[in-house]
Every structure is written in C-alpha cells, then in structure tokens.
Structure 1
C-alpha cells in the first residue's frame, strides 16, 4: 500500500467531495439559524443550534478525506465548499430580493427562512473556512506524529479544535447583540455546539474506521503529509 505519493485519479474522491458539499449546504441552509431546546434532568432547559444534529457529519467526511487522500486534496474540497456557500448566499439574496408575483402569500415567510442577514452569512462562511482548515491541519499533523496509528485520537482531537473554532466564531459573530439572543444564550449555544459535535464524532468513530479502511483498500492509498505545504492558499498539488 502506498505511503507517500498518491495516484492522480481516484474512484471515490469526487463522490466524497459531493457528500461533503451537500451536507455543508443543507446544514447551513436548514439548521444554522434556529436555536432549539431540550429539558435535561437536573439542568432544566438547555439550548443548542438545530444544525448541530447534521453539520458535524461534514467534519467526519472531512476527517475521512484528510486521512485517506491527504491535506492537499482536502484543501481543494474545502475551497469547493467555500465557493458553494458563497453561491448559496448570493442566490438566496437574489431570489429573496426579487419582487413576488401579485397575490403570492409566501414572501414574508420566504424572507424569514432564506433572508439571512449579512452577519449570519459572513459568520457561517468565516467559521466554516477557519474550522475546516484547522480540523484538516490537526488531522494531518497528528497522523504523521502517530505514524498512522490510533485513528480515533486524531479524529476526535481534530474535531475538538476545528468544531470549537467553528462554534466560537459563528455564534458570536452572527448573533451578538440581536434581539432574542442574549449573551448567556450565545455562550450556552457555543458550548453546546462544541460538546455535541465532539460527542457526535466520538459516537461515530466505528463508522469512520469502517469508511476509512474501505476507502484506503479501494483506492490503494494512504497519504502521509510529511512534505505538504499547509497554507490554505497553496496551489494544487503542494
């Protein structure tokens, strides 16, 4: 099995990229702006962002990408997701701004659902960019440090860093000072997001192992980023 240079084409790389971008767009479009709440024993009502139920899957897919294909190819996927988020934001702005047909009753609801403010859009894009690159960087570095052993340590460790950074950027930047989002709620949601995302990663570790091992066998590759340029802006192949 190859340990350094990866082949130039893969059977499943594009499919994994498509899964990553799909999960990213849907979790941002559907769940990012809604705070949900559950009642916990001995704690009472506890708030969390609704998107947390599905968004962490994008980080798991990101872990799989970095583990199998390496940081450089994951960087391409992250930039693809970044471009997709920008286009989604632009499309939402255009469609919401278009005047509705006479008699159509859904404009107000449409604006409420899809008319996110520039703050939410900016926060989502910045948090995604920073969190995903941090996650992939930690994942790749830990793989070299551990000589490819103990996959669970780097999947969870990279999630602690990446998801923590994502939550820490997104919620304060998007909702600080807005009605309905007191400071206490913001920090509660930040901590909830961080804890739940990390717990999701730990819970799905067996699935990550299964997918990673099958992809490595199918692709015949196991990339170690010993000489990789880790700049997010490095050109492809670096």
Structure 2
C-alpha cells in the first residue's frame, strides 16, 4: 500500500510526518524534562573561566536542539503543541513550588525552610521572565526553521539548525534578561554579562551538537512512515 500524500508535499510547503509512532512522544517528554530541570538548575549562578552563567545553561540549550528536531520532522503544528505543553508544565511547577514554600512546615526547622526558599522559592519577576523568554524563543526557533525549509527543501539542514537557534536564543535571552533586570533581582551592571555570555554559550552548544542533531533527525525521518522529503521550490 502506498503512503498517503501529505498536504505539506505541495510545492512551497515543508514536509511533516503525520504518523502516530512513539518517537514524537519520546522527544516531547525529554524536551519537557530538560525544560523543568533547567528551570530549577537556573537558581544557582555558575562561574566558568571567569564567565558568569546560570545553572540552567547546562541543559537548556538542548531544548532548542530538540525543538529543531520537532520542527524539522513534525512541522510547526506539532512543535507548537510541545512548546505549549512545556509552558504549562513550567507554570505548574512554579505554582507548586510557590504553594509548598508558602505553606507552614511544622518541626522542619528554619534553616531547612530558608534553604528551600532560596532554591525553589517563587520569584515573580524571574518566573515571568523565564516563561516569556521561553515562549518567544521557542516559537521563533520553530517558525524560522520551517520558513527556511520552505525555501531550501531538504538541503542546507545546518543553516536551518543554526539560523533558527540564533534567532530563537536571541529573543529568549534578551527578553529574560530585560525583564529580570527591569523588575527583578538582576542589576543593570550585570545585564550585558548575562545577556552576551548566555547567548553566545547557548548558540555554541547548538553548533557543537550539530553532528548529534543531524543523526537524530536522519533517524527520525527514516523511521517515521509518513514522512516525505520536502519539495524544493
């Protein structure tokens, strides 16, 4: 039996699989897990070779790698669902931490409560900055990749991966740093350090991960039954 023709097979459109395999669920699960872990890890600042980063920088760039995989293989529609799911889980985690932090803890002791508050305490400005930056960055990352694919078809995958990340991470980092500095705990003297170092580091991770991203995307395209190569315009 021949595979059905996808609407995205029309000239000027990108190919995206419509199959119901478990790979999409796996990528979405890992994407959301990396996002939640990064949000918790971001509460600790790091100094690496004189550069100041937040702890989330270790894993958060990988969400853009997986975002590229989702957009390249499954299209903007399914990538958008994953992005919204990650947003909802991030907001839920923040609300849960706020509630746990606010409720009394008899016999737990002041030092333990202070330590919990320091790491997981609800900081409205940081939560707002993180969620706004995440939404803008991930949506731009996915949209730019799909738009570039409309023009290049299956060619120049590296340009789509790097180009979408450069735009998405720029928006993400800029929005986060601006909000966290304007109404949050950051100070303007630290703005350019957090912005430039964070942005360049995240883009560097994407470039370093290109060989892995290539292999994952190739595997997904081969094993998704309904995927058809994009028609080059």
Q: Same fold (TM over 0.5)?
A: yes
More helix by share: 2
Secondary structure in 2 aligned to 1:99? coil
Q: Do the aligned partners of 2:19 and 2:224 also contact (CA within 8 Å) in 1?
A: no
Partner of 1:213: 218
Partner of 1:234: none
Partner of 2:80: 75
Question: How far apart in 1 are the matches of 2:190 and 2:16?
Answer: 47
Q: Do the aligned partners of 1:70 and 1:223 also contact (CA within 8 Å) in 2?
A: no
Label 1:81 to 1:223 Cα distance change in 2 as closer, same or farther (>3 A): farther
Partner of 1:27: 38
RMSD between aligned alpha carbons? 2.1
Aligned-residue offset at 1:35: 2.6
Question: How far apart in 2 are the matches of 1:133 and 1:48?
Answer: 23
Aligned-residue offset at 1:148: 1.8
Ranges in structure 2 where 5+ consecutive residues have no aligned partner = 10-14
Question: How far apart in 1 are the matches of 2:231 and 2:114?
Answer: 50
Q: Do the aligned partners of 2:72 and 2:217 also contact (CA within 8 Å) in 1?
A: yes
Aligned-residue offset at 1:72: 0.5
Question: How far apart in 2 are the matches of 1:171 and 1:100?
Answer: 33
Partner of 2:12: none
Secondary structure in 1 aligned to 2:48? strand
Partner of 1:14: 25
Ranges in structure 1 where 5+ consecutive residues have no aligned partner = 40-44, 227-238
Question: Which of these residues, 107, 127, 136, is aligned with residue 130 of structure 1?
Answer: 136
Q: TM-score, normalised by structure 2?
A: 0.87
- What is the count of residue pairs matched by the alignment? 219
Q: Do the aligned partners of 1:70 and 1:225 also contact (CA within 8 Å) in 2?
A: no
Aligned-residue offset at 1:120: 0.5
Cα deviation digits, residues 106-140 of structure 1 (max 9, x gap): 10100111113110111111110110000000010
